[in-house]
Structures are given as structure tokens and as C-alpha cells.
Structure 1
Amino acid sequence: MDIRKTNLQDIDQVMAIIDSARGLMRASGNTVQWTNGYPSREYIQSTIDIGENYVCLVADTIVATFCFSLESDPNYAHIEGGNWLNDQPYAVVHRLASNGQVKGIAMRCFEWCFEQCPNIRVDTHETNIPMQKVLTKLGYTRCGIIYVGDGTARVAFQKINS
């Protein structure tokens, strides 16, 4: 699998993958994450414009997308019910979406991100059990609860190079 930055020409494929991932979430019981049109085409385009959106390719076909940012996430400034593992600069992974056709995509994406920065923070909704299982399997530590822009809670994880 190859990973590269997303081009604006990829946006239709990226949005189709996001729609597919939304369906996979609903099928697994996660009916509350990625609602009301989130993430929108405009929002994804903004992450492409700043160079934070990536695609995963298998045989030159886009099979997944994610956001990888080296910028601190303001939603992570306050954490409840626990603590971050450290206060060092970190990278964030957001909006990982797969079309569901290739196994192991999430694990490979997180491994790639950790190769880029050995201090990763990520959050997911409490009903996103498949994502929580992947994070746990990869050695991420559940650190507490953070709140995203719309005020809803997310389970926060972190992995550091120890």
C-alpha cells in the first residue's frame, strides 16, 4: 500500500470513500458520528489545501483517506478523566475512512503516521468500537475524554515512542 498527499483531483474519490465509511459505521452500530454532512466536501478540500489530507492506494486505486496534522489540536487542550501521556509536540490523526474493500488499512495508516511522528494523539466516538479495537491493538493508551467543536465527547488515545 502506498500513501501520498491528496490532490484536488482526488476529491470525488475521497468523498465516495467517506460515504462508504459512514455506511460501515452505521452498520457497526455507530449512528452518531459523522452526521449532518460532516465531513463536508468543503472541509475535506480545506485539509487538502493545507497539505494535511492523505490517500492510501492499492494497485493505484484509492482505498482510504485520512488527515494527518503536525499542528496541536485545540480540542486536546483539556482532557477529563485522565491525562495525556506527555506534553511534547504531537501529531494528530483524524477522519480515517476506508471503502472497506482492503483489510488492515487502519493499522497500516496508523503505523505510517507513527513513522512520521512518534507521538500521536487520536480521538474517536465511544460507539466506534472497531476503531477503539485497532488503536488498542496498536498499543495506543486510552487517556480520557475530550470534547470536539460541537461539544460532543470523544475517547482520546495516545501512543508515544517509549
Structure 2
Amino acid sequence: MTTPTSTLTGERADLLEALGQQRWFLRHTVRDLTDEQAALRTTASELCLGGLIKHVALIERGWARFAVGGAEAMVRRDEDEPVNWEDHFRMVEGETLAGLLDAYEQVARETDELVATLDLDLSHPLPAEPWFEPGKIWSVRRVIAHLIAETSQHAGHADILRESLDGSKSMG
């Protein structure tokens, strides 16, 4: 089956390939885990593997909203998004690893569609938050580069958590 993203070439294809590779590394860290294992904290932090999957999906959704509609769109919340920021990083009652992976896959498809169709030069001012430079503007291209970096960083976190859990490594 041909999808809009499967026929891409050039910069868009490169961006999606890089993002897809980092998503794969992140998902690979949770292979063969039970829900209980995915919910375990294996380090001093609040992070668990299922929580990282959820967090990356929620953050990617927010940045996709930003790419389309700017800072105001980024802060909009869906009913399925945790109100408590700490719940971004852990599995809460009723969540399953399979459900979190399905939600992440849906977010990834939506983001990929945006990369395939949006003007990569479309730009918006960043939200007024202390961690962003005041007055800074990001293009869709910059947002995708940020998602690649953020997903990569969290894939590294997940690798540490998984190795702490049962000694499994994503690579090596």
C-alpha cells in the first residue's frame, strides 16, 4: 500500500527516516516486557519504560500541534492526556504497554503526515516559557529536528532503564 510518506524523497524523506529510526530504538527497548515490568522504576528517577513511551507520544503530539497552529495549539489538551505532569512519566492504573505503544504509533502516523504535507518553512513563535529563548521562532523543519533529538535522548534514557531492569540492551 502506498501512503503519502512512502513516496517522499529529499529532505522530507530524510527527516522522517531519522525520526523513524529514533522511534524504533525507543520502541525496541520495551520489547518482550509485561505491563508490570514496563511500569517499574529501575533507577532513582520517576521514569519507567511505559511512562517514557507515553511521555514521548504526548510531547510529539504537542509539537505537532505547534507546527500547525503555534504555541496556543500546543497547550491544548485531549481527554486522554494526563493533567498531572508527573503522570507523563509513569504508567497509571488502567494503562497497558500495548495501549501506550498503540497511542504512540497513532501520534507517529499523524506527525509523519504533517511532515509530508506542511510547508517546512512555516514558522511560529515559541511558547513564553523560561526554557525557551524569548522571542524565538521555530519552523516546522526545526520542530522535526527537535523531535528527532528529543526522541533520541529518551531512547537513551529507556536503554538505561531497560538494562537496569533485566540487563537487556538495545545495541551490543
Shared topology, TM-score over 0.5? no
Larger radius of gyration: 2
Structure with bigger helix share is 2
Structure with bigger strand share is 1
Q: RCO (CA 8 Å, sep 6+): is it higher in 1 or 2?
A: 2
